[in-house]
Amino acid sequence: MNYHLTLVRGEDAAYLLEDWPPGGVEIADDVVGLFEGTKRARELSELLELHRAARVAFDQTALLKVGLARSWSWRRAGWDGQGPIARRLEAEISELLAAGFPADKEQQAKLLKLIQAASRRLGPLSYVDGLYKRPSGLEDRIVVSASGAVRYDRTPHPMPFLQEVLSVIRKDA
């Protein structure tokens, strides 16, 4: 994917954009997405310490809340680095999410129980994945990782979606 944001929060996080050469996206005064954060991890750690900021990370509950964002259509959830059992469970989850989060309460319960059961066996979710519909009608894939990374392919940046992610970050702070 072309854009890989590392989400960072701190009282004056917006000032990080001035000191981070690759740049990024201001989501709010206290939350930004920085480009190349994983490629330049050591440099980023030093900058975060200087600005008293921290990387955002999502626990499983927060990642599920991101999955429920209204500005996209949640399609997948998964576990990185797991074997065939994880792939089978991910396929079941994808099937349940084929048309977005189900409106039917029974299907919702089935989906959440499947994710909970899988997490007991495989550990917490690593990512959620979905489609963001742009005003032009084009749909772009977005992947949000438990590590606080948001990946997508093109600009303009999906700000309505990033704003919803921001609300999850603030509620879970």
Note whether 19 and 3 are same-domain residues.
yes
Asked whether the beta carbons of 30 and 17 are under 8 A apart, the reply is no
Span 118-137, average pLDDT: 93
pLDDT at 103 (0 to 100): 77
Note whether 66 and 138 are same-domain residues.
yes
Only one residue has tokens 């074997």, namely 83
Note whether 9 and 77 are same-domain residues.
no
- In this structure, what token pair is assigned to residue 71? 């500005």
Q: Answer yes or no: is 17 within a domain.
A: yes
Span 112-116, average pLDDT: 93
Quote the DSSP letter at residue 41.
Answer: H
Q: Tally Cβ neighbours within 10 Å of residue 76.
A: 17
Share of the chain above pLDDT 70, in %: 99
Q: Answer yes or no: is 148 within a domain.
A: no
> Residue 74: which domain range?
60-143
When divided into structural domains, the chain yields a total of 2
